[in-house]
Amino acid sequence: MSRCLTDRAMTRVLAELGTAEERAHLAVCAACAARHRRREGEMAEIAHVLAATPEPRARTARAATPWIAVAATATAVAAGVWLSIETGTRVETPPVRDPRIARALADITTALFSVDGEPRGPVAALEPDAMHETGCEAAARVAGIYCADAAVGLDEGTGALDVGIGGPAAAGEDGRGEGA
Partner 1 sequence: MDAHRGRLLRLCRLLLRDPEEAADVVQDVFTKAYDAQVQSRTPGDWAAWLTRVAVNACHDRRRAGWWRRFRFASDRIEDIPVAAVDPSPVDRALGEETRRRIWVAFRALPSRQREVFALRYIEDLSTAEVAAVLGLHPGSVKRHLFRAIRHLREALGGAP
Residues forming the site for partner 1 (CB under 8 A): 7-8, 11-12, 14-17, 39, 42-58, 61-62
Nearest distance in Å: CB 72, partner 1: 13
The answer for 79, left when phi > 0, alpha when psi is -120 to 50, beta otherwise, is alpha
Q: How far is the CB of 65 from partner 1 (least distance, A)?
A: 8
Q: Which is nearer to partner 1, 11 or 84 (CB)?
A: 11
- Closer residue to partner 1 (CB): 38 or 120: 38
Smallest distance, partner 1 to C-beta of residue 29, A:
17
Q: Quick check: helix, strand or coil at residue 114?
A: coil
Name, in order, each residue with C-beta under 8 angstroms of 120's C-beta and a sequence gap of 6 or more.
109, 113, 114
- CA 122 from chain centre, in angstroms, equals 27
Distance CA(125)–CA(55), nearest Å, equals: 74
Outline where the chain has alpha helix (H). 7-14, 20-28, 30-52, 61-87, 99-113, 135-146
Q: Which residue, 46 or 85, has its beta carbon nearer to partner 1?
A: 46
Least gap, CB of 94 to partner 1 (angstroms): 47
β-bridge partners, 162: 153
Which CB atom, from 48 or from 132, has the smaller least distance to partner 1?
Answer: 48
* Angle ∠(30,36,37) on CA atoms, nearest 5: 90
For partner 1, give the closer residue by CB, 39 or 176. Answer: 39
Residues making up the chain, counted from first to last = 180
CB of 119 to partner 1, least distance (A): 55
Shortest Cβ distance from residue 18 to partner 1 (Å)?
A: 10
Identity of the residue, 75 or 84, whose beta carbon is nearer to partner 1 in the bound complex: 75
